[in-house]
Structure 1
């Protein structure tokens, strides 16, 4: 099937964020490599669209359903086995990645080989937790009706049960980092040493699919200063709330299991969703660290070859390999891709890509299918209705956000956390109950509707909107 035909066939799942072909191609390879873990070619293809530093990832909903069914059939023991393999693989890769700290001193040929190995390692690592993407459609569209039928409860009650039971058993990596900063802000002695250690451990936390944003001691000091503006008692309360997450989550789940007499089959499903939620969170931390090394290598390749750091990110991996080996790639070719880049990878690792005007038209045609549809998703956090001013944020470096606005985005990412803490509520086009927005919104106790698919395309900053947290519908107010 051609790329054009795939984008026209419908029944597609989309996720998007600021990004470039380099990160998109690693992502595509990881999607296809998951087939080796599943034992079948269930992920048949994936499309990556990029225009002006913005990326869309597009997969088939039917394929997502097939992957979920395979994972559900294999059960929790398989998921735990995959997690153990992933952890072991991570440890092996750490030593390889440490070599890249001295990449400036490497001969071009050596760095080219390191880059090639890195892409293999990164897509291999990513291929394990990316299996959890198979849960997206199920947790957005099917889990609530299933719980409602199994427990004989209404859909609102079923939603609250599903949300609570799918919470990760451990606090998110972002809350772990936040807790560390809260504790540092309370220190009277050993402050500098603690802050230095924090910066070394979390320098990667603001990275994304578009660029690396290395955080230093000075950056974290600025965050500590903001925390210290709050009363000490409030900081202590926040720290205690994060500290007690595990106990609170476990207690809530135990109460639900007892109250609703949840049977073995449904409980096993909930345990899988819980572990998938945890793995999705830890995957994000892994990705951000990988991006640090990826962008460092691309910057080095650009420096050696005389390429703009933004343009080099539009090079195909084979071209970066060539550049590091002393060969040239035309700047005009990379510029053309920045205007529009459409790429597809199939289950046999066959590539197809289009650039420039043709790709731009293809992207425009695809995005046009998302306009004018009802804005409806699934409530991940909160009850009742809430109204407020919408603020569309796709790239936090470009889009402004006012405290107290309703944050509307394609999907939240780690760098969104400061905005999420200021938001009145959150609307995200992508994700199910186990997605980043859902997990963080529940931790922050912020109303949240996810999986709306079309909110970004149909709303604009300044719109007054009402979120119905009972039905998942969002409407524009006159």
Structure 2
């Protein structure tokens, strides 16, 4: 995939990328329209089959190009950054930082927009004595009779109904869940604290703009470099938009799976273990997975896809061997290395305690911990605000962790490949924000 991305570098530049983004946006609009039409249906098997056919027709087109962008960050790393490095006598790290700053979009990510929206709702709750008391006492009935709360909830849900969706399931946002999130956010905080949290986003946005202005005052970009930077900006913007649209699609699909589970009287987990063709067959005929196969898939399993060939399944220990081979794990080394996606507020070194987070809804992260994860998603943002720094296995300077960490002013190193395997909770590490290296200072006891 990486070689393909690099060889198609010229084809993937600004005009071509803009065209493909417009096409994908139009395709996503068709998916959203299909979902709206389905909402007005009877939600029986016949209407579900009709929706799934339309959904898959458009979703397959959307993913065909969207998935390629997983590796387009390599174009920035392998092409855009070295050109800037050579032309301006920078080190690779300095050039990478410059590209990250220059390519960060002017408009905030949808994660930042969502967080500010939610925090403003929290501020409104604190200023309304009746609403605040109902939130603190978890009096949902009172809240459902509170016009200002209901209005805020409905408006928020309309735009962020998918906010609690992950890569396995969706959760319907209810007044009770919304109230619980508000209660957790405002616990121990004053109105001033919430307003400071809101203003911190604006402060970091101004800091980013200042960094960009200062950088452009020191270096003069050639026409080729300007074109490269515009490409990188488009890539970063699209990555953010793509994540938003991806989570919506996941919500639609998982919600359909729940509806089918209810109709067919099976557990959601049973459907979630099916391949798409198996699911469609189950829809049409009611024929489910064999129990033995379901039991095998309850543990670790992986699938090998080869063009023109049947899928090959691997289970149990074979999966562990495959993952280890992919990650090229080397437990003997005391040092990891990745790409410096954000220097935060200019830190050169960060020393702190590691906390591995796989499920942000369950895993504990204390304020000031270094958040270590495979990659970040929407539901990671509240934890990211608490983190001293962020380390990921995957991603580059245009990934979600990079975008959000720059907007939060938090140091971040991405693409280490194996941080979640090599490090353990409680390990003390030192992050070199110049080279991207992460050195283990002491192991947890």
What is the TM-score of this pair, normalised by structure 2? 0.84
**Counterpart residue number, 2:48:** 111
Q: 1:130 and 1:245, CA in 2 relative to 1: closer, same or farther beyond 3 A?
A: farther
Change beyond 3 A, Cα 1:459–1:141: farther
CA distance in 2, matches of 1:424, 1:122: 38
Question: Which shifted more, 175-184 or 325-334?
Answer: 325-334
Matched, 1:443 2:444: no
Gaps of 5+ in 2: 129-146
| 1:305 CA displacement | 2.9
* Partner of residue 5, structure 2: 67
Query: Structure 1 residues 429, 139: CA separation in 2 closer, same or farther (over 3 Å shift)?
Result: farther
Change (3 A) 1:256 1:245: same
Residue 277 of structure 1, aligned match among 205, 227, 236: 236
Task: Give the match for residue 282 of structure 2.
Answer: 323
My pick for the range that moved more, 149-158 or 364-373, is 364-373
Contact 1:171 1:242 in 2 (8 A): no
Quick check: 1:185–1:228 contact (8 Å CA) kept in 2?
no
**C-alpha separation in 2, matches of 1:287 and 1:200:** 17
Q: What is aligned with 2:148?
A: 191
Contact 2:302/2:315 (CA < 8 Å) preserved in 1? no
Q: Secondary structure at the match of 1:379?
A: strand
Rate the CA distance shift 1:236–1:388 in 2: closer, same or farther, 3 A.
Answer: same
- 2:292 aligned residue: 332
Give the aligned length.
Answer: 414
Give 1:386 deviation, angstroms.
1.3
- Secondary structure of 2:426's counterpart equals coil
Alpha-carbon shift at residue 456 of structure 1 (Å): 1.1
* Structure 1: distance between partners of 2:202 and 2:365: 29
Which deviations, in whole Å up to 9, do the C-alpha atoms of 1:222-241 show, x marking residues without a partner?
Answer: 34442485443444344345
Q: Counterpart in 2 of 1:428?
A: 392
Tell me the alpha carbon deviations over residues 22-78 of structure 1, each in whole angstroms, 9 at most, x when there is no partner: xxxxxxxxxxxxxxxxxxxxxxxxxxxxxxxxxxxxxxxxx2232244244442111
Which of 326, 329, 332 is the aligned partner of 1:370? 329
1:474 partnered with 2:438: yes
CA offsets, 1:70-108, max 9 Å, x none? Answer: 2444421111111211222222222211133356x3442
Q: 1:148 to 1:281 in 2, by over 3 A?
A: same
Check the 8 A contact 2:355/2:365 in 1, yes or no: yes
In the alignment, the residues of structure 2 paired with residue 66 and residue 360 of structure 1 have an alpha-carbon distance, to the nearest angstrom, of 26
Q: Shift of the alpha carbon at 1:446?
A: 0.9
- Matched residues in 2 for 1:407 and 1:167: separation? 22
2:381 is the counterpart of 1:381: no
Q: Distance in 1 between matches of 2:397 and 2:372?
A: 17
Deviations 1:366-397 (A, max 9, x none): 36732325410111122311111111112224
Residue pair 2:297, 2:315 contacting (<8 A) in 1 also: yes
Contact 2:103 2:229 in 1 (8 A): yes
Question: Which is worse superposed, 77-86 or 218-227?
Answer: 218-227
2:5–2:74 contact (8 Å) kept in structure 1 = no
- 1:155-170 matches, cutoff 5 A: 155-170=92-107
1:260 deviates by 0.4
In structure 2, the CA distance between the partners of 1:407 and 1:97, relative to structure 1 (3 Å rule), is same
Q: Could you tell me which of 176, 198, 219 is aligned with 2:177?
A: 219
Distance 1:301 1:203 in 2: 20
Question: Quick one: structure 1 residues 349 and 101, their matched pair in 2 at CA, closer, same or farther if it must change by over 3 Å?
Answer: farther
Q: Whose radius of gyration is greater, 1 or 2?
A: 2
Equivalent residue for 1:91, pick from 25, 29, 33: 29
**Residue deviations 1:337-377, cap 9 Å, x none?**
2323322334x464422143575365355367323254101
Which residue is equivalent to 1:25? Answer: none
* Partner of residue 68, structure 2: 131
**2: CA distance, partners of 1:369 / 1:117:** 40
Q: TM-score, normalised by structure 1?
A: 0.79
Residues 80, 142 of structure 1: CA spacing in aligned structure 2 closer, same or farther, 3 A cutoff?
closer
Question: 1:209: which partner in 2?
Answer: 167
Higher relative contact order (CA 8 A, sep 6+): 1
Per the alignment, residue 18 of structure 1 pairs with none
Distance change (3 Å), C-alpha of 1:381 and 1:242? same
On the 8 A contact 1:140/1:451 being kept in 2, the answer is no
Deviation at 1:309, TM superposition (A): 1.1
- Within 2, Cα distance between the matches of 1:178 and 1:428? 22
State the secondary structure of the residue aligned to 1:204.
Answer: coil
- Alignment of structure 1 residues 242-321 onto 2, 5 Å: 242=201, 249=208, 252-321=211-280
Which has the larger displacement, 294-303 or 385-394?
294-303
> What is the CA RMSD across the aligned residues, in angstroms?
2.6
1:403 aligns with 2:367: yes
- CA shift for structure 1 position 404: 1.7
Contact 1:138 1:432 in 2 (8 A): no
Q: Distance in 2 between matches of 1:365 and 1:451?
A: 16
Structure-2 change in CA distance of 1:323 and 1:468 (3 Å): same
Moved more, 407-416 or 217-226: 217-226
